[in-house]
Homo-oligomer: A and B are copies of this chain.
Amino acid sequence: MTRAAAGPAIDQALTELRDFLGDRVTASGAARQHHSHGESSHKAGLPDLVCFPHNTGEVSRIVEISARHRLPMVPFGAGTSLEGGVNALHGGISIDMRQMNRVLRVSVEDMDATVEAGISRSQLVKALENTGLTFFIDPGADATIGGMASTRASGTTAVKYGTMRDNVLGLTVVLADGRVIHTGTRARKSSAGYDLTRLFVGAEGTLGVITEVTLRLHALPEALAVAVCAFASIEGAVRTVIEVVQLGVGPARIEFMDDRLVEAVNRYSKLDLAVQPTLLFEFHGLSQASVEETARLAERLAAEHGGLGFHWETTAAGRERLWQARHDVYYAARSLRPGCECLTTDVCVPISRLADCMVETRADLDGVSFPATIVGHVGDGNFHVQCLLAPEQEEEAEAFSDRLVKRAHSMGGTCTGEHGVGFGKIRYLEAEHGEALEVMRAIKRVLDPENRMNPGKVLDF
C-alpha cells in the first residue's frame, strides 16, 4: 500500500500498540527523525512509529499488530549502520531494541552467554568483567549485539576469533507473523537439521527480528603483546601478514593503515607514527614467553619484507592508546575534511590478491578528486576506503566504489566483508551471487511473503 493509504492503518496500529506499550510507542517527529538513518549518508527513511519493547513477547505483539495492518517493520539497534540498514525506506514501525539490553545468563564453564539483542558491545564487555571471559568481536562502533548479528559483523579480532557467524550459538527470532522461534542449542555443535542460526545472522532483519542472542565467549588472554611496524610498501606489509597468518598460531589482530591515514591518526590521536604503510599487531597467549615467541617470529618476517622495525608497546597505557587510535580511525579520517560526507567501502578478497587489490585501489584513488584513506583488517583480506566527500563528489565516489567492487569480484572477493548490504550494496549482489540470488529471494518470499520485514534491504524484488 502507498504511504498515504497507510494513514488509517498507522493510527489503528498506534492505538493498539499504546494499549500495552504506553509511552513506549511514539509518533513524535524527533523520534522518527532519529530512527530514519544510521551513520552513513544514504537517503534517510522516516518510520511512522517508533516502539521501545522490553521483551520478546512485546516484540512479537508489535510484529503481529504491524502484520495485521500490513505495515513495514525495521529493527533498530545503535544506529551505527554504514549501509542504510536501519532506514525506514517504506515507513512503518521502527522497533528500537535498546531497552532490551539485559544479560540473561552467563556460563563460565560453557564460555557462553545469552543476551537481549539491544545490549551494546561495550555493555556486554563490562558485564563480563571479573568472569575471566570476554566478547572479542568489535566492529569499531559501539553497535548492539543484535545489530552485529544481523550484519554478520566482525572487526579487528576476526583473524583469530572469527566473525558473528562463528560466535553466535543460537537466537530467539520473531518471524513476520509474530511467531517466536529459538534456533540452535546451547551445545557447541549440532547436526540436527538446517542451520537457521546462520540464516538469520547476516539477514539484516529481512527474515525476522532477532530478540535474544546466545554468544560464544573467549578466555581473556593471560599475556599479550602489541607492536606497530611501518613498511616501505603496501606489498611488503601484506606479504608479512600472509606469512604471519600461515604460522598457524596467528595474532589476535593485524590491522593495516595507509600512509595518509597514519598522518590523520597522528594528528587526531596525538601519536607520532612514521608516515608509511603500517601494520598494528596484537598477540594473545598463555604466557609472556609464548606470546613473545610468536611476536618475534612476526618481527623477523616483517624485516624480510621491508618492515622498518617493530615498535613494541610495553605498557598497558601505550597499548590502550594505540588501539584507541585504531578505534578512532573513522573520526581521524573525517577530520581530514571537517564537515565532509564519508562513503566507506568494505570489499574483502582472498589474501593472495590483497596486495594487488590495495595497490590498484590506491592508484585508482590518485585519479579522483576527493581525499581518501585506507584501513584494513588485512588478516581477513578486508579493507575499507574512507572517501571524504563534498556533496557534489558523491556520484564520483559511487563510481569509484563500483570499480572497487568489480575489482574485488574479479579477484574472487565480496562487495562487503562486514558492513552488510543495507540498500547501498544491493546493486552488487547479482554479479556476486548469480543464480544463487534467486535462492535467497525464494527464502525471503517464503518467510516474509508480504515483504514487510525491513523492506528494500539486502534483496530487490
Contacts and interface: CB of A to CB of B under 8 A. Distances in A.
B192 A382 contact: no
Given A181-B435, A187-B381, A189-B158, A194 B348 contact: no
A445 B449 CA distance: 14
A412 B193 contact: no
A192 B415 contact: yes
A401 interface: no
Contact of A109 (B220, B352, B444): B352
Nearest to A250: B219
A151 interface: yes
A459 interface: yes
Contact of A188 (B196, B218, B289, B348): B348
A368 to B, nearest CB: 24
Contact of A248 (B284, B352, B440): B284
A130 interface: no
A297 interface: yes
A449 to B, nearest CB: 10
A163 interface: yes
A33 interface: no
B182 A434 contact: yes
Nearest to A107: B352
Nearest to A109: B352
A326 interface: no
A417 B191 contact: yes
Contacts of A192: 414-416, 421, 425, 428-429, 432-433
B248 A222 contact: yes
9 contacts: A111-B246, A151-B191, A152-B190, A166-B166, A186-B349, A187-B413, A194-B444, A195-B198, A199-B443
A203 interface: yes
Interface string A111-143: 110000000000000000000100000000000
Given A111-B246, A195-B165, A443 B440 contact: no
A396 interface: no
A27 interface: no
A382 B434 CA distance: 38
A183 interface: yes
A63 B412 CA distance: 28
Contacts of A180: 435
A249 interface: yes
A439 B382 contact: no
A195 B204 CA distance: 12
B187 A112 contact: no
A257 interface: no
Interface in A348-370: 348-352
B249 A286 contact: yes
Given A107-B352, A248-B284, A443-B446, A163 B189 contact: yes
Given A181-B439, A182-B436, 6 more contacts: A181-B438, A187-B414, A188-B381, A192-B421, A193-B458, A442-B446
A294 B289 contact: no
A395 to B, nearest CB: 23
Interface in A400-441: 408, 412-421, 425, 428-429, 432-440
B419 A112 contact: no
A154 B289 contact: no
